[in-house]
Structure 1
């Protein structure tokens, strides 16, 4: 028989509840006996009695009615039972995930928009790798807006799909992560940089430089009329770096998210052009298969993204 060691700090002060006491509580609730619970958990009966008493003091209520050697749950004890089971099940799942990650290199396969990989990933990945040093983070090349990406997700080729285009499917779970605002940017020495505000006619003189078809569609729908969209000239470039570089040297008007343009704006190399109309905002959402449980590594990755987005 063993005795539960005393906690290092008061749970009342910290707000934490010792999971071992919840295990004792459940054993007593299931056996209707402190003695039987002690036998099941290989503890002394006094240790079980002490653990239950401590829980009752923490919750400031009676969890059991004592009937000699038998005990029955009070209404408070009945309410605590499913909650305690849920907490312990979650902790067991957490231990399992930790053991998997520590014991085996684990892949987290994520298909994401280029804008996300350029602006968010460098800030998220160091913290993620600190949490999971044995994990293998695998960014998957491809168009996250393509319908084939959804097939890859459902077939298990991907763990997560990050996209600016929300997917609607009964088999897919979605979580919004990052909201960003699109804007027009030119070099600091560009003639347009001296104008307080521009309109759709600028695209008749200078091409719009963009690397993401979804961002172009979002911006044009919010800022231009149908007729203006038809006359706007758009150059679709192979990547954000090409868009930023051409704009930096004065060759066109870059369509960029605020996050993608922020460093060059702060350095004075790009200037934001004001344009009337509603803000062109996009939301990057994470999607995963509803047929599989989200891994702890994936959950931590998404939580880190949300933390960085709120900074």
Structure 2
């Protein structure tokens, strides 16, 4: 076997598709398939269950994936060590961010990093926060900017950018608009508009209902973008639940504090504790870009 086969194997495992893997590694799908078949022949076991356009790991494939990633990481480590000696940084960074959120400091960090290191290939992807953190653990992302409920994830490096409380947003003239605050229990009497499960803000809301009243929030509408959540509330379709900074962008709506919720919605950078030179350089730009928010 060779490193190219391992790279293709990991690409298929992470994308769940020979087509998407081929796009990632920039060769034809038939080339990826041929190399995977050669690897399976050498190992004496099928690595994937092929069904239509999807590819799922077999038990043998799952066992092999960790070792394949470790071999590729060792190769990258060797390259990074040589690059450090030469004073070079090259390679690729895969960065994740929360779906539907326009996070200007992250874009500023990306721009500054690209200007300083134009040889680094950057890949940016959006997902819900739970998917982002899982992606860091699996090695699919080098670093993510994710929303978290209450605290940073275990066994990963992280930097909390900001911690905020939840607020309710309602259209002027609504029955909540004249209130100075609302409790979690009182929110049960309103149709709620929220971000989906797996986002930090929704996780905080769900935990607050469970801890405070042993209830589940009655969510009328779900949208992936904070602006959409606010837009639905603006049209009188319910009460939006967002963070303080998200609410500040919608001054035409009435912002009502949610009382008794001690859990903070965190925005944090999350990455594996071991960093490549490229990731270390990107982190420096992130810290500069996000410093005003800290």
Do both share a fold (TM > 0.5)? yes
Aligned counterpart, 1:286: 269
SS of 2:170's equivalent? strand
Structure 1 position 239 matched with structure 2 position 225: yes
Aligned counterpart, 1:208: 192
Aligned counterpart, 1:112: 97
Given the two structures, how large is their TM-score scaled by the length of structure 2? 0.57
> Cα 1:153–1:274, aligned 2, differ >3 Å: closer, same or farther?
closer
Aligned counterpart, 1:17: none
Structure 1 position 255 matched with structure 2 position 241: yes
Native 8 Å contact 1:203 1:233 kept in 2 = no
> Cα 1:149–1:278, aligned 2, differ >3 Å: closer, same or farther?
closer
Match of 1:303 among 255, 275, 287: 287
Match of 1:275 among 236, 255, 258: 258
Aligned counterpart, 1:88: none
Counterpart CA distance in 1 for 2:123 and 2:275 is 19
**In the TM superposition, what are the counterparts of 1:1-311 in structure 2 within 5 Å?**
93=84, 96=87, 99-100=88-89, 107-114=92-99, 117-118=101-102, 121-126=103-108, 128-133=110-115, 134=118, 136-146=121-131, 149-150=133-134, 152-154=135-137, 156-165=139-148, 166-169=152-155, 172-200=156-184, 202-213=186-197, 214-222=200-208, 227=213, 229-230=215-216, 232-233=218-219, 235-265=221-251, 269-293=252-276, 295=278, 296-310=280-294
Counterpart CA distance in 2 for 1:217 and 1:130 is 32
How many residues align? The count is 203
Given the two structures, how large is their TM-score scaled by the length of structure 1? 0.54
1:307 deviates by 1.1
> Cα 1:94–1:277, aligned 2, differ >3 Å: closer, same or farther?
farther
Q: Deviations for 1:167-198, whole angstroms, at most 9, x for unmatched residues?
A: 212xx323322222221111223232122333
> Cα 1:199–1:94, aligned 2, differ >3 Å: closer, same or farther?
farther
Structure 1, gaps ≥5 residues long? 1-91
Native 8 Å contact 1:187 1:247 kept in 2 = yes
> Cα 1:286–1:200, aligned 2, differ >3 Å: closer, same or farther?
closer
> Cα 1:187–1:222, aligned 2, differ >3 Å: closer, same or farther?
same
Counterpart CA distance in 2 for 1:261 and 1:301 is 27
Q: Deviations for 1:22-61, whole angstroms, at most 9, x for unmatched residues?
A: xxxxxxxxxxxxxxxxxxxxxxxxxxxxxxxxxxxxxxxx
Counterpart CA distance in 1 for 2:288 and 2:202 is 28
Q: Deviations for 1:111-154, whole angstroms, at most 9, x for unmatched residues?
A: 22237x32xx22442354145323554321333313x853x435
- Which has more radius of gyration? 1
Structure 2, gaps ≥5 residues long? 1-82
Q: Deviations for 1:45-78, whole angstroms, at most 9, x for unmatched residues?
A: xxxxxxxxxxxxxxxxxxxxxxxxxxxxxxxxxx
RCO comparison, higher one (Cα < 8 Å, 6+): 2
Native 8 Å contact 2:106 2:286 kept in 1 = no
Counterpart CA distance in 1 for 2:111 and 2:201 is 30
Aligned counterpart, 1:66: none
SS of 1:176's equivalent? strand
Quote the RMSD (CA, aligned, Å).
Answer: 3.2
